[in-house]
Amino acid sequence: MLLLILNGLMVPTAFANDDDSYARAISGLTEYIDNNSEDANGYLYRGNVYFRNWQYELAILDFNKAIEINPSFAKAYAARAYTYRLKHEFEYALADYNKAIDLMPNFAGFYTDRGGVYMDQKMFAEAIQDYTKALEIKPTSEVTYKKRIDAYCASRQYDLAIVSCDNFIEMNPQNTGIYYKKAYIYEIKGDYQMAIKVYQTLIGKFPLSMDASQAKRRIQYINSCGVGTSL
């Protein structure tokens, strides 16, 4: 159980899924709303608790109320958008993300999340455009880098995916997973020699990592197929 401060009052809110934490969070936030019915934040936070407990319709009702109170509440539009996304109501999700972006055009997370809606619909070009915009705003976002790499791969733009991997490595050379991802993209391309080379780099730099163990198995598999060279 975490405590949220709203207007100077400490209100319980839940991030755990246990019934007791959930009940106390809803009770506390409902009491707060009863006494502060014009504070859009109360509805947003209660909607988030409903959302975390998969009560999407109740969450949407609270997000609706938050927006009714404050039509410029970008975070409420984004919260409702994500809920619509999980309900596969993508048209509504996009409309809400568009509104959130209109209200807060320099918040990178909204572009990343809208990109996810595009990915769900296999609209890869639009997703890549959003991920790229998010990275312009927040160039250190590893999550967005990975999502853009996945979008490039989904649209079979493997060379651009590899460039994004290289950019990621420049930003964080200690991330073992990105070496593995880069090598695997080379495998998908059919460039097994480069795949092995990157796997070997991963093994050499991080010999005790789980990704290095996976890389060794990938090299063995490539060699067993007769398309690579041995370590």
> Could you report the per-residue pLDDT of 73-110, keeping only the tens digit for each?
999 999 999 999 999 999 999 999 999 999 999 999 99
Mean pLDDT of the chain: 91
Position 191 confidence tier, pLDDT thresholds 50, 70, 90:
very high
Contact 77, 94 (CB under 8 A): no
pLDDT at 230 over 50: no
Specify the DSSP class assigned to residue 73: -
Residue 162 in this model has a pLDDT that exceeds 70: yes
User: Is the confidence at residue 25, as pLDDT, over 90?
Assistant: no
Per-residue model confidence (pLDDT) at position 11? 52
Choice among 34-48, 62-76, 84-98 with the minimum mean pLDDT:
34-48
Strands 2-6 and 9-13 turn out to be antiparallel
- Say if CB 215 and CB 203 are below 8 A apart: yes
Strand (E) or helix (H) holding 2: strand 2-6
User: What pLDDT is recorded for position 231?
Assistant: 40
Yes or no: say if 151 and 128 are a contact pair by the CB < 8 Å rule: yes
Of 109, 34, 121, residue with least CA distance to 84: 121
Each domain of the chain, given as residue ranges in start order, spans 1-104
Q: Give the C-alpha separation, 219 to 67, whole Å.
A: 54
SS3 4: strand
| Residues 5/11, Cβ–Cβ less than 8 Å | yes
Would you state the pLDDT for residue 203?
A: 97
- How many residues does the structure list for the chain? 231
Q: Which of 182, 183, 185, 196 is nearest to 225 (CA)?
A: 196
Helix/strand/coil for 71? coil
CA 16 to CA 1: how far, in whole Å?
7
CATH hierarchy code of domain 1-104: 1.25.40.10
